[in-house]
Each structure stands twice: as structure tokens, then as C-alpha cells.
């Protein structure tokens, strides 16, 4: 029987149900998921022949029960592992396996009648993660050769506990030298000295071999355990190695080719933590300094983190202290920082390039991370990623690849000490999980784009209906592995042979119609909104259904963001629109113009309800989040104003009467006004009576370098950010600020900046759920996206080279960003492929056309073959379906907000008329009269007579004391907009009505 790959893919639905009863299920942590890619009951090696293997088994040079996997590192598609020579019978201490699932899938070809038993797949089924793998993993290959692993040859590798691969492709191998430390030892076991060997991973050649002096590393008592490498350049490198038996850290200088060690009491095992409880069984381990991790290259590798295995504390020390130390230095207590107490002990540690420290939790059978950029103690910032009592017993060592995956080994090491391994079970595993980052050796900003992987992401929006994306991330890039050499057949839950089991991963995502989120590293340029003139600023309404774009000719273009078509063009001003804000119900738009006027526009009719004339330019306007009768105005070189629609206003008090460069914003609920001045001082005033509630400085001292440029609040959550002149974006917690009092001291929860290019930020905003922050560069059309919780740079989006960014806004509900540059609105979104089977499970995709065979009675008026159903169907047919009402969507409302009944979601749009009569106009709607001159098509006609007259706006002259009346709006001096030739885009004035508004792709 021959089965094509297309046929196999078509059977995914049936296979998932079959797989549920065949494979063991793993509980999925809500934050992450993992894949066990290899598993071994016992380790075996790829010997030159079966005769060689049998000979080594016979003479005791190969004892499978004495082989344990500990270290792991990944380079390209090769996984390097270490097998310490703790006991006799370990033929090779440094090994590798080739890992290329893509090639495996490509080799499927035709599947014969033999059942498939070795499977590697991850799928989401109900609330569990299915992860099947072979219990007999691949054979281990010696690296770089058998000769380089020869026992007793001191030029070869004797006992490799760990290794590291730097960004230049060099493997730094730690050779303990002495062997069989957990066996009955003899003098010959201490024959070879400890050494550091550098190998070229592309060829396996030895680059350098360094033997540690006896006064640095003892050849008879050392236990060189783990290593990290700090390479600023190919030559300027330092290595830091832990010695778990002699309780010290060894430092190696690559340029000078010398080493030394330091010691501190924190490197000694804590006798109160020598007991580790794993699955309700106590194990005794008295092990000194063990795990080690290094802060990322973006921080110049400035801090080394370490912990004894027998300790729940995490410690760190400045690498500058280690680099300048002399051999045998005992570090002072002030030099070593206690990062706090963790929930359990750890073995290996590893850092990614964003500053996240990953560690195994031995007592929890899981993996957690710690945000090292946070000022919190370890326990407060510990985040459990994955946990499983079967697969994740004793997470040992970690390693990153260049595609965003974290790898680690689990080896049930607690059983090795007492010879308690059950070799009928899987004992050793290689696990990987997606994190989206690379190792600490790579810069976040200079890092190459991660290889694409197909991931069903966890939704970022808590109020989204619970669908399959809430069950964890599933990596469909981990395709299927078939082992035709295994003769064991797949069995169902009942033990019956399943002759028809084919397990495959669908090549495309099943897009859930309710999925609102996406991983942001896959955001890419989508399209351009072609406005009627040059765009200057933009704002989404509360629900994200409408986008208001202020243009340089004074018009406001309202886009229907669902259809990406122009729904309304409102003539608001005669000069460029500088700021736009929506009212809570979406029926009004507040605009500020460079001619010092502020207007309230009716979105439905297009009329200007009120006009406010200010003596000085207005930089920003903002509607009150809850009360549409109030709005905030930030005039140039003047205190912020709280304005009532009736024309009255209140002045927001200043901290310094001479400092008039004020940036201000309402908080999320409109209870407070946050304002910042040019000296970095932030004031919080109550909207009700303008009393000062809290104040603090974003810098240590008053300085113009910390001038507050903008203040932005998240739509969800209690966070706000401050964009300051020192090019740092500071994120604060609102309750903490309100509780700090006057002249308080508040530390930001995150500081975001471009350490490489020192970019100044033009505009910043939060994502809809407040978990991500987007900042637009003031130098170029580039958008930087950070994850707020950990502060890591997720993505940099680059627009057209040479353009300057004017504005950037984030869709309130979806992972879509709109940016304005050179008068054009660019849309950034995830490129999704439609899969109709997500909407209709019985939908079938055809590779080629097939002839459809009509059933005999398929199109009959009365189906003679139809079975008459029981009574009661008539009643079902009479059920009325409401197609007019709009039910509130929970995801659109905050938990503390009441249901809104009078909200404008969409605008009525008249159909396009190609050849309308010159003097014809549709009659006004008697129920909802709408100015016909502002309909989608007729609004665009230059000489179309309006059926109704424009309503005359109420005009208010705002009087401000000491307002600079001779100042020019900063937008008018923006050369890229001012000097942009209008003819290059569209002619001034209303466009021809016969030309449809459209979206460019």
C-alpha cells in the first residue's frame, strides 16, 4: 500500500483522536509548553561495529547503567551532550546527536503497511499536551572522535562535565581530568590534569588546550562543574568556571592565557539545604557552587550569577571584581549580592539575551525563570514555566539555539546516587521549549531574525473566549519522526494493535475565529491606508472598529478598520490636525489644529459642535475617559488645562511656575491627571478638586536631560509609561505612584532603551492588554516592541528608509500597529493564512479539481429520501433570531466598567454611484438625519449640493494668562511634512467622486 504525504495530512483529525489514547499526556502550564525530543532508558553509543561494542561490554569498558547525560549545548542542527566519567564503563564523555526534523519529514516518502511506532509530535487536545517520543533515543556519537575521548590519554578528553559554545562557533570544553570519582578509585584515575580545550565546531579541530596550574585547580580534588564565556570580541574573552568540590570560581583570560580563582562563603553548601525532596522522597546532596550564568552582552557581561546546588539562595558578583582579582582572593561580603531565596534548589542556570535567568527547580520537577533586570528578590520574581513529575525530574543543564528554542536535559540524577535507576522506564531526556530568544552571548538589537516556526500562541487577552489557544503553545515545527527499524507496533488504550495509525502535523495553522493575539516577532508590514491627503496623527476608537486620521489639510478621515475603507471624511480645520482623541461612546472626535483651535466633531453628521480658540498652539488634546463633557488640553509653554465643553476651564497646578513645558494625561479611569515637566518632575492631581495627590522625580536630580516628553497609560492594567529626553522609557505601577505621597521615591518596574543606537523616541504606546510596549524612533521609521513583564526587546519593525515617524498607535484589541510616516498610514500585522476548516470542520481542501457527483435527489424541491423528523421541529423554525441588536463583548470592556448601550461601532456608508445625476441628492433620513455631503461617495464630490445646511458651531475664545501668543506650532516646522509636495500624493481639495477610496496593498 502506498500513501502520499497529502493523504496523510488529510487525516489529521482522525489521528488526533487516535493519538489521545496512545501517547502519555502531560499537564500544560498556562504560560508555556515543552517537547521531549529524545528519551533514553539506557544510553548507547554508535560504535564502529557490533564486534567492538560486544568487546567493550565484555571487558567492562562499556557499562550502559553507568552512563548519565548532564550537559547540553546546541549548534545549528547538532545537539552536543556530556556523559561524565563518574564511574567505570563510559566510552566517550563528549558526544552529539544530529537533530533535523525537517529532513526526517522529507524522508517519509511512501509508508508501507508496517505500523509506525516512533513518533515525535505535539498537539493540543482538550487541556493536555500530547508529547510522544521514542523511549530508545538515538545512538550517541563521540565528539570530535573516538580518539579524542580515549580514556588514559591525557591529550584527549577524560571527563567532560560541561561545555559552552561562543558566538564565534568555538566550543569551550571543561575537562575535569580525574575520573571515576563515584567509584572505587585508584591512583591512575588522577593521571591527567584538569584542562580547558577549545574546539572548532565546524571541523572538530583543537584550537587551544590549556592546563590549569595546580595552585588554581587541584588535579586530585577538583569538580569543575559549569562554564560561561564572555566574549566582547573573538580575542577579548573570559571564561568563568565553578568548582563544586573546592567551592570556588575559576576565571580564565583568553588573551593572556592564564587563570586564577576566587572564593566566598556563599559558594559553600548550605547544610540546611542539603536535603532535596522529590516526589515525597528525601535525597541528601552536599554540593558547593554549581550553577552559573552570565548577564547578557548588552550589559557588557557585567554580572555573574551563581548558586550552590545545596542552597536555595541565588547570588551574584560583578565580573569586574572577578577580572581584577588575584589568585586565591577571598571576596568581601559587600562584593557578593544575595539575590534572594528561591522556592527550591537548582542545578544548572542559563541566561538569555534579554536578561531572563532560567533555572531548574529540583524540588518541583519544573523549570522557572527570573527577570534579572527587576529589583525584586528571587522568590518574588520566580515564574514557573513548565512542570511535570514524569518528564522533568532533575532539570540539569540548559542551552539555546539560534531559532528561539531553549533546550535542557533531565536525568533523574537523584536515583544515580543510590543506584535506583529503573531501566524499564525512560530516565534521560532532551527537552526543548520555545522562548523566542537566544543566549546571553548575542545582542538583542543586533540579533538576526529568528527562524520561522509555526506556533499556536497563547492569547494575550484575558477576556477572550476560552478556545484552544488557551491550552498552551504548540510547536508544529516539531514534525514527525518515523523509525522504520523498530518493530514494536502502536497500541490503543485497550492494547489492541492499531494497524492504521498515521501521525502527522498539519502544515498550516488552524486559525481560531476568536483568536485576537499573535506572537509579535511575526508582525510584519501589511499594507498602507491611502488617505485623501497627507496623514499627520491617528487614533483608534475604544473598540478598534474605527480609525480617525488627522491630515495636513485640516480634514479628519475616519476609516472603517474592519473593511479598511473610508467611512467618513470630515472637514474640521483649514490647517494641519495635530492631535485626535475619541470620546468614550465613539460619537465625538476631539481635534487640535496648528491654528490654535480645538474642535469637537460629530462623527455621524460630520458637523463641528464646538470650537475653542486658544491664544497659543495646542500640542495635545484628550477626552476624559469616562466623562465626554470634559477634555484635557496641553498648550505650548503653558500649564495643562481641564476644559469643560461649556468653555470653562481649570488650570492644572505647576510645580515650578517658570517651567512651562508640560506633558499631561488622564489616568485610565479619569480620576487623576498625571503631568510632567522639563525637569523630570511628575505631579498627580485629582480631577475633582485639583489637589496634589502624589509627586516624584524620574531621575535622581532635577535635570533637563530627564524632561518628560509624553505620558501614556495602558488600556488594561494599572501601568503607565514616561518617555523622557534621556531616551529611556520608564514604566510605572499606578497604585505604587499614588501611594508614594508628595516628593515620593518611586522606582520604575522597567526601563526600556536602545543601548546600541541610543535612539530617541517620538511616540510610545501600550498594546491592548498592556503587556507589550511599542516605541517609534524619532530618527527613522522604526518601531521597537518590548514585553513589559520582562523588559526584553521582542521585535524591531523597519519602515521605508529615510522616512521620519510622526505617530504610532496600537489597536486596542488586536496585535495590529498603525504608524504614520511621510503622510502615509502603514499597517503592521501578522500575515495569516486562511484555513476554512477552522470555521467548518468538515471543510476539505483539494489539491486539484475533482468531478462532483450529484446525488439523485440533491436538488429536488422535495427530498423523497428525507426522513421525517419527530414533532417539535416546527417550533424550532419559529424561533426569532436577533440580527439587529449588538450584544456586549466581554473582551471589549474592562471589569470595572458598566455595560454601554449607546456606543457607535460603525458608520453607515452609502453605496458608491459611478454616474450620479448632477443635481440629485438622496433625501435625509427622517429617523437619523445624516449630512449627505459626508456620505462615503457623495462627500467626495466637489460640487455636490448638500441637502442640509451645516450646523454652525459654538465658538469659545479661551483666555489664558501669560500664554505665548507669538509661538509657532512645532508641527509647522517639521520639514518632512511641510516640504512634502502635495502633488506627489493627491491634489488638494476633495477628490473626484468617481474615484473610490481604497486600500493599497
289 forms beta bridges with 308
Query: Which CATH number fits the domain that encloses residue 124?
Result: 2.120.10.30
Q: Which tens digits make up the pLDDT trace of 188-202?
A: 778 899 999 999 999
805 forms beta bridges with 821
Q: Which tens digits make up the pLDDT trace of 738-782?
A: 999 999 999 999 999 988 788 999 999 999 889 899 999 998 999
Same domain, 417 and 556: no
Same domain, 77 and 160: yes
**Do the domain assignments include residue 560?**
yes
**Do the domain assignments include residue 500?**
no
Q: Above 70 in pLDDT, residue 107? A: no
Q: Above 80 in pLDDT, residue 598? A: yes
What is the total count of domains within the chain? 2
Same domain, 441 and 531: no
Q: Above 90 in pLDDT, residue 170? A: yes
**Do the domain assignments include residue 208?**
yes
Q: Which tens digits make up the pLDDT trace of 140-154?
A: 999 999 999 999 999
Q: Above 60 in pLDDT, residue 803? A: yes
Q: Is the dihedral of CA 73, 78, 83, 84 positive or negative?
A: negative
pLDDT of 763 reads: 95
pLDDT of 818 reads: 94
Q: Above 90 in pLDDT, residue 514? A: no
pLDDT of 99 reads: 78
Confidence band for 916, pLDDT divided at 50, 70 and 90: very low
Q: For residues 653-671, give the mean pLDDT.
A: 90
592 forms beta bridges with 579, 598
Same domain, 277 and 418: yes
Q: 3-state DSSP call for residue 940?
A: helix
Q: Output 851 or 607, whichever has higher pLDDT.
A: 607
Q: Above 70 in pLDDT, residue 498? A: no
Domain hosting residue 302, numbered range: 34-449
Q: Which tens digits make up the pLDDT trace of 473-492?
A: 333 233 223 233 333 333 33
Query: Do residues 531 and 555 make contact, with C-beta atoms less than 8 angstroms apart?
Result: no
Q: Output 701 or 543, whichever has higher pLDDT.
A: 543
- Residue 35 CA to chain centroid, in angstroms? 19
Q: CA-CA distance, 190 to 198, in Å (whole number)?
A: 22
Region of poorest pLDDT, from 255-269, 389-403, 428-442, 969-983 = 969-983
Q: Above 70 in pLDDT, residue 500? A: no
Q: CA-CA distance, 191 to 186, in Å (whole number)?
A: 10
Q: Above 50 in pLDDT, residue 989? A: no
pTM score, whole prediction: 0.48
Which of 421, 449, 477 marks a domain boundary? 449
Q: Above 50 in pLDDT, residue 942? A: no
Q: Which tens digits make up the pLDDT trace of 282-318?
A: 999 999 999 999 999 989 999 999 999 999 999 999 9
Q: Which tens digits make up the pLDDT trace of 429-448?
A: 999 998 888 999 998 765 44
Which of 426, 449, 472 marks a domain boundary? 449
pLDDT of 423 reads: 92
Same domain, 432 and 571: no
Same domain, 443 and 537: no
Q: CA-CA distance, 286 to 270, in Å (whole number)?
A: 8
Q: Output 61 or 119, whichever has higher pLDDT.
A: 61
**Do the domain assignments include residue 653?**
yes
**Do the domain assignments include residue 152?**
yes
Report CA dihedral (636, 642, 648, 651) to the nearest 10 degrees: -70
Choose from 396-405, 494-503, 957-966 the range with maximum mean pLDDT. 396-405
Q: Output 62 or 844, whichever has higher pLDDT.
A: 62
Q: CA-CA distance, 753 to 207, in Å (whole number)?
A: 38
pLDDT of 698 reads: 93
Q: CA-CA distance, 832 to 812, in Å (whole number)?
A: 19
Q: CA-CA distance, 176 to 172, in Å (whole number)?
A: 13
Query: Which CATH number fits the domain that encloses residue 713?
Result: 2.130.10.10
Q: Output 890 or 604, whichever has higher pLDDT.
A: 604
Same domain, 431 and 533: no
pLDDT of 87 reads: 93
Confidence band for 373, pLDDT divided at 50, 70 and 90: confident
Q: CA-CA distance, 537 to 556, in Å (whole number)?
A: 10
**Do the domain assignments include residue 993?**
no
Q: Above 90 in pLDDT, residue 219? A: yes
The residue assigned the cell 493536555 is 128
Region of poorest pLDDT, from 236-240, 252-256, 505-509, 567-571 = 505-509
Query: Do residues 340 and 379 make contact, with C-beta atoms less than 8 angstroms apart?
Result: yes
Tell me which H or E stretch contains 102: helix 101-106
Same domain, 528 and 443: no
462 forms beta bridges with none
Region of poorest pLDDT, from 235-244, 577-586, 623-632, 697-706 = 697-706
pLDDT of 966 reads: 80
**Do the domain assignments include residue 856?**
no
Q: CA-CA distance, 250 to 333, in Å (whole number)?
A: 18
Q: Can you read off the three cell numbers belonging to residue 482?
A: 518515523
Closest among 697, 655, 662 to 677, alpha carbons compared: 662
Mean pLDDT of all residues in the chain?
78
Q: Above 90 in pLDDT, residue 852? A: no
Same domain, 556 and 678: yes
537 forms beta bridges with 550
Same domain, 692 and 778: yes
pLDDT of 297 reads: 93
Which of 408, 427, 449 marks a domain boundary? 449
Q: For residues 359-387, give the mean pLDDT.
A: 86
Q: 3-state DSSP call for residue 339?
A: strand
**Do the domain assignments include residue 836?**
no
Confidence band for 232, pLDDT divided at 50, 70 and 90: very high
Same domain, 445 and 538: no
Same domain, 253 and 390: yes
Amino acid at each position: 500500500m502506498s500513501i502520499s504525504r497529502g493523504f496523510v495530512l488529510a487525516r489529521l483529525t482522525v489521528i488526533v483522536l487516535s493519538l489521545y489514547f496512545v501517547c502519555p499526556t502531560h499537564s500544560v502550564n498556562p504560560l508555556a509548553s515543552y517537547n521531549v525530543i529524545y528519551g533514553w532508558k539506557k544510553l548507547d553509543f554508535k560504535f564502529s561495529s557490533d564486534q567492538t561494542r560486544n568487546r567493550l561490554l565484555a571487558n567492562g569498558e562499556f557499562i550502559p547503567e553507568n552512563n548519565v547525560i548532564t550537559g547540553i549545548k546546541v549548534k545549528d542542527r547538532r545537539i552536543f551532550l556530556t556523559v561524565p566519567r563518574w564511574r567505570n564503563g563510559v566510552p566517550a564523555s563528549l558526544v552529539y546527536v544530529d537533530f533535523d526534523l525537517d529532513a526526517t519529514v522529507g524522508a517519509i516518502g511512501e509508508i508501507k503497511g508496517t505500523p509506525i511506532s516512533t513518533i515525535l509530535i505535539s498537539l493540543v487536545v482538550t487541556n493536555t499536551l500530547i508529547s510522544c517520543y521514542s523511549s530508545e533515543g538515538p545512538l550517541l556519537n563521540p565528539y570530535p572522535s573516538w580518539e579524542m575521548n580515549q580514556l588514559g590519554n591525557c591529550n584527549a578528553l577524560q571527563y567532560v562535565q560541561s561545555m559552552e559554545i561562543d558566538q564565534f562557533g568555538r566550543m569551550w570544553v571543561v575537562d575535569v581530568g580525574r575520573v571515576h570519582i563515584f567509584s572505587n578509585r585508584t591512583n591512575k584515575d588522577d593521571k591527567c590534569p584538569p584542562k580547558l580545550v577549545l574546539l572548532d565546531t565546524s571541523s572538530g579541530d583543537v584550537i587551544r588546550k590549556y592546563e590549569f596550574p595546580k595552585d588554581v585547580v587541584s588535579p586530585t580534588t577538583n569538580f569543575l562543574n559549569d562554564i560561561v564565556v564572555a566574549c566582547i570580541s573573538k580575542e577579548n574573552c573570559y571564561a568563568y568556571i565553578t568548582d563544586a568540590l573546592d567551592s570556588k570560581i575559576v576565571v580564565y583570560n583568553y588573551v593572556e592565557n592564564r587563570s586564577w580563582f576566587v572564593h566566598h562563603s556563599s559558594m559553600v553548601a548550605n547544610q540546611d539545604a542539603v536535603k532535596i525532596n522529590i516526589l515525597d522522597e528525601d535525597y541528601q546532596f552536599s554540593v558547593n557552587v554549581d550553577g552559573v550564568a552570565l548577564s547578557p552582552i548588552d550589559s557588557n557581561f557585567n554580572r555573574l550569577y551563581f548558586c550552590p546546588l545545596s542552597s536555595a539562595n541565588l547570588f551574584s558578583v560583578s565580573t569586574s571584581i572577578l577580572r581584577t582579582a588575584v589568585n586565591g582572593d577571598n571576596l568581601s561580603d559587600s562584593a557578593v549580592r544575595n539575590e534572594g531565596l528561591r522556592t527550591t534548589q537548582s542545578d544548572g542556570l542559563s541566561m538569555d539575551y534579554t536578561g531572563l535567568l532560567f533555572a531548574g527547580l529540583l524540588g518541583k520537577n519544573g523549570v522557572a525563570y527570573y527577570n534579572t533586570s527587576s529589583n525584586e528578590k528571587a522568590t518574588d520574581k520566580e515564574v514557573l514555566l513548565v512542570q511535570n513529575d514524569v518528564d522533568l525530574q532533575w532539570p540539569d543543564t540548559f542551552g539555546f539555539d539560534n531559532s528561539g528554542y531553549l533546550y535542557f536535559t533531565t536525568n533523574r540524577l537523584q536515583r544515580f546516587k543510590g543506584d535506583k535507576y529503573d531501566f524499564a522506564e525512560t530516565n534521560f531526556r532532551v527537552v526543548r521549549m520555545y522562548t523566542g530568544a537566544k543566549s546571553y552571548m548575542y545582542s538583542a538589537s543586533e540579533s538576526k531574525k529568528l527562524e520561522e516556526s509555526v506556533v499556536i500562541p497563547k492569547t494575550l487577552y484575558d477576556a477572550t473566549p476560552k478556545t484552544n489557544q488557551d491550552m498552551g503553545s504548540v510547536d508544529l515545527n516539531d514534525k514527525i519522526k518515523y523509525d522504520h527499524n523498530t518493530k514494536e507496533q502502536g497500541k490503543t488504550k485497550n492494547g489492541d494493535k492499531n494497524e492504521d495509525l498515521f501521525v502527522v502535523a498539519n502544515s498550516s495553522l488552524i486559525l481560531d475565529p476568536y483568536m485576537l493575539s499573535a506572537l509579535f516577532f511575526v508582525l510584519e508590514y501589511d499594507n498602507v491606508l491611502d488617505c485623501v491627503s497627507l496623514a499627520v496623527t491617528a487614533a483608534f476608537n475604544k473598540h478598534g472598529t474605527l480609525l480617525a486620521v488627522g491630515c495636513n489639510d485640516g480634514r479628519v478621515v475616519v476609516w472603517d478598520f474592519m473593511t479598511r475603507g473610508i467611512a467618513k471624511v470630515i472637514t474640521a480645520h483649514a490647517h494641519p490636525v495635530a492631535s485626535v482623541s475619541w470620546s468614550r461612546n465613539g460619537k465625538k472626535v476631539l481635534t487640535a489644529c496648528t491654528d490654535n483651535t480645538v474642535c469637537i466633531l460629530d462623527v455621524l453628521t460630520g458637523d463641528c459642535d464646538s470650537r475653542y480658540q486658544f491664544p497659543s498652539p495646542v500640542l495635545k488634546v484628550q477626552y476624559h475617559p469616562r466623562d465626554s463633557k470634559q477634555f484635557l488640553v496641553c498648550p505650548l509653554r503653558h500649564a495643562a488645562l481641564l476644559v469643560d465643553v461649556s468653555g470653562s476651564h481649570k488650570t492644572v497646578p505647576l510645580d515650578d511656575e517658570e517651567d512651562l513645558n508640560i506633558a499631561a494625561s488622564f489616568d485610565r479611569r479619569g480620576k487623576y491627571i498625571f503631568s510632567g515637566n522639563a525637569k523630570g518632575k511628575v505631579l498627580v492631581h485629582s480631577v475633582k478638586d485639583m489637589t496634589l495627590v502624589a509627586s516624584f522625580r524620574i531621575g535622581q536630580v532635577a535635570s533637563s536631560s530627564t524632561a518628560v516628553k509624553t505620558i501614556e497609560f495602558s488600556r488594561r492594567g494599572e501601568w503607565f509609561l514616561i518617555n523622557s529626553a534621556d531616551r529611556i522609557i520608564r514604566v510605572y505601577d499606578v497604585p505604587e505612584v499614588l501611594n508614594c505621597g508628595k516628593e515620593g521615591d518611586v522606582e520604575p518596574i522597567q526601563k526600556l532603551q536602545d543601548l546600541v543606537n541610543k535612539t530617541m523616541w517620538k511616540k510610545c504606546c501600550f498594546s491592548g492588554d498592556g503587556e507589550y510596549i511599542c516605541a517609534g524612533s524619532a530618527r527613522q521609521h522604526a518601531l521597537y516592541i518590548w514585553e513589559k513583564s520582562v523588559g526584553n526587546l521582542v521585535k524591531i519593525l523597519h519602515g521605508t528608509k529615510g522616512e521620519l515617524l510622526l505617530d504610532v498607535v496600537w489597536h486596542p484589541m488586536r496585535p495590529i500597529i498603525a504608524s504614520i510616516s511621510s503622510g502615509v498610514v502603514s499597517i503592521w500585522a501578522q500575515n495569516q493564512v486562511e484555513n476554512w476548516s477552522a470555521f467548518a470542520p468538515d471543510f476539505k481542501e483539494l489539491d486539484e479539481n475533482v468531478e462532483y457527483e450529484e446525488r439523485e435527489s440533491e436538488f429536488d424541491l422535495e427530498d423523497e429520501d428525507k426522513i421525517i423528523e419527530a414533532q417539535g421541529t416546527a417550533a424550532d423554525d419559529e424561533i426569532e433570531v436577533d440580527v439587529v441588536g449588538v450584544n456586549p463583548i466581554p473582551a471589549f470592556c474592562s471589569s470595572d466598567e458598566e455595560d454601554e448601550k449607546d456606543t457607535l461601532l460603525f458608520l453607515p456608508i452609502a453605496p458608491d454611484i459611478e454616474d450620479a445625476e448632477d443635481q440629485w441628492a438622496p433625501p435625509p433620513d427622517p429617523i437619523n438625519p445624516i449630512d449627505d455631503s459626508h456620505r462615503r461617495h457623495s462627500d467626495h464630490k466637489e460640487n455636490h449640493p448638500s441637502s442640509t445646511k451645516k450646523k454652525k458651531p459654538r465658538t469659545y475664545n479661551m483666555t489664558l494668562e501669560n500664554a505665548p501668543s507669538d509661538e509657532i506650532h512645532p508641527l509647522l516646522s517639521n520639514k518632512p511634512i511641510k516640504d512634502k509636495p502635495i502633488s506627489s500624493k493627491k491634489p488638494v481639495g476633495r477628490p473626484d467622486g468617481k474615484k473610490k477610496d481604497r486600500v493599497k496593498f
